[in-house]
Amino acid sequence: MSHAEQMYEYWYAQQKLDAKVRAELEAMKDDREAVNDSFYRELEFGTAGLRGILGAGTNRMNIYMVRKATQGVADYLNGTALPKKAAIAYDSRIQSDEFAKEAACVLAANGIEAHLYPRLEPVPALSWAVRTLGCGVGICITASHNPAQYNGFKVYGADGCQITPEAAKIVLGFIEKTDCFTGVKLADYEKALADGSIQLIPDSVLDAFVDAVYAQRVGDGDGIDSLKLVYTPLNGSGLESIRKLADKLGIKNMTVVPEQEKPDGHFPTCPYPNPEIREAMQKGLELCDKVKPDILIGTDPDCDRCGAAVPDGKGGYRLISGNEMGVILLDFICRSRLAAGRMPEDPVAVTTIVSTDMVDAIAKKFGVELRRVLTGFKFIGEQIANLEAAGHPERYIFGFEESYGYLSGPHVRDKDAVNATLLVCEAAAWYAKKGMTLGDAIDSLYAEHGYFKNGLLSFSFAGESGMQTMAEIMSVLRQMPPIVIAGRKVTGFTDYANMDTGLPKADVLEYRLDGGAKLMVRPSGTEPKIKTYLSAVGRSVQEADAVITELEEAARDLMKK
């Protein structure tokens, strides 16, 4: 009997099993492939917490794996000198509210005061609650922008950042020692509410979060009240906070995409609710054709990523990429701060190793120190914490990652799509006074600094064999790095796992090529896929696009190894 079959039998033998889990176990009883995929391993726990497909089994998201993970978090927290308090939030995904309550019950049973948002709220509101309420940890039930069949379990430290690799390792140790049926302490939810070991977070905390976002304004606000906005929360958690922010900004003309307004974990309008892709924004774009707004803004289900589209001057709308928006916003923040006399001494901006090289030119122009960190916004948050520890948090002016995550203040320590919405609206209103859209803005910056183009290809590898294939591909690329890619000589190779880069070790490979092009390879930390990041610069958009096309073909070839 295989390990997966043994674990299946162990689960099946439990007397008091959740009815839904029991039904799923019954359904897979005679399907060895389904049993193997559901039980061949446990969901991996790391700095991004857990993330997986909903269902019965150790390799699935269900109440038992959530309880087990929470018990590990509780054991970790109780072994530290940190406050024995935790904040919990959740988004619109299937079972998110149920998982959040289960986590609260486990924490309460372990003597940890659990503060739970009474309804779905954005990830940055969780980061805010951790810091504001003085918690030792935070938990957010979300799978970000993954398809509907996924859910996840993110863990935050007392600083409001996702936990460090060191903390994640300790938590994992406790999780591995815990039996999900016999090793978990569990309180009764209603009794815990009555005795105060579980408390609902008051609306004043969310209001204070929105106030903190509003305080990050960098412009003078002139013209923002006349901005015509279409907004979509993609059936997620962003609507309440975005509406509160729009009211504070004085935006009078905001239309919400009706099909994507209400929370719905099935995401019926798009299989992949990610504002990075056109399909997710399509309903918003269709509404733009009717409403003719100045800008379309979309936030993902947990409202930490923000996408946008603007008029293209030809009667349609143009999507702005994450890298483009990062460049636009850094440039706008620098211009606005300088004009207002509010640029700090020795300003710092932070981005990731896979984000556009164009940001270097913007930072240099304005005398901003640019720091590059590993992928994952926790590393940007860590830089804010370092500046704070040194007594100069004001030096931080902006951080972004190419995957549509932005943050302009130290109020939270994760990417914040509410904050991003503020900045995008401010920038759009500022450029509108010049008769320009944000599309015109990035085109102007391209003309000034060069046509930087970026691409991203993801290659999926499903199941147990998929993980092995991913490992084999990375091993080959590491041991026999190519000397030519897309007909261009490799002029530089960096293995972030085995070379001294000044950053934590990471499973990332970087190939710099003749002509300023670049290709990077990184297995996803949350999904069974390898991502390839492509970068090119040209004298025209056509020249840069041609290089990206060649790099895409080269990336496909590399994934065949």
Alpha helices (H) in 369-500, listed in sequence order: 377-389, 417-432, 438-449, 463-479
Sequence-ordered list of residues with C-beta below 8 angstroms from that of 50, at least 6 positions apart, any chain: 43, 44, 61, 65, 66, 69, 152, 153
Question: Which residue do the tokens 């460049």 mark?
Answer: 327
How many CA atoms does the CB half-sphere of 233 hold within 13 Å? Answer: 27
Distance between CA 499 and CA 541 in Å, rounded?
34
> Nearest CA to 265 among 438, 61, 403?
61
How many CA atoms does the CB half-sphere of 540 hold within 13 Å? Answer: 3
Cβ atoms of 481 and 493 within 8 Å: the answer is yes
Distance between CA 561 and CA 550 in Å, rounded?
18
Find the catalytic residue in 144, 197, 241, 321: 144
Active site residue 144: yes
Distance between CA 537 and CA 532 in Å, rounded?
17
Distance between CA 459 and CA 453 in Å, rounded?
20
Residue 478 per-residue DSSP state: H
Distance between CA 485 and CA 478 in Å, rounded?
15
Q: What is the DSSP annotation of 279-317?
A: HHHHHHHHHHHHH--SEEEEE-TTS--EEEEEE-SSSSE
3-state secondary structure of 411: coil
Beta bridge partners of residue 151, listed in sequence order:
52
> Nearest CA to 162 among 385, 400, 381?
381
Q: Which two tokens stand for residue 544?
A: 């840069």
Region for 367 from its dihedrals, namely left if φ exceeds 0, alpha if ψ lies in -120 to 50, beta otherwise:
left
HEC string of 13-63? Answer: CCCCCCHHHHHHHHHCCCCHHHHHHHHCCCCCCECCEEEEEECCCCCCECH
Counting every residue written for the chain, the total comes to: 561
Q: Which two tokens stand for residue 108?
A: 């309460």
Distance between CA 57 and CA 40 in Å, rounded?
9
Cβ atoms of 253 and 277 within 8 Å: the answer is no
Distance between CA 375 and CA 377 in Å, rounded?
7
What is the torsion angle, in degrees rounded to the nearest 10, for the CA atoms of residue 278, residue 453, residue 307 and residue 336? -160
Question: Which residue do the tokens 């013209």 mark?
Answer: 223
Distance between CA 239 and CA 435 in Å, rounded?
29
Neighbours of 470 (CB within 10 A): 20
Q: Would you name the residues annotated as active-site residues?
A: 144
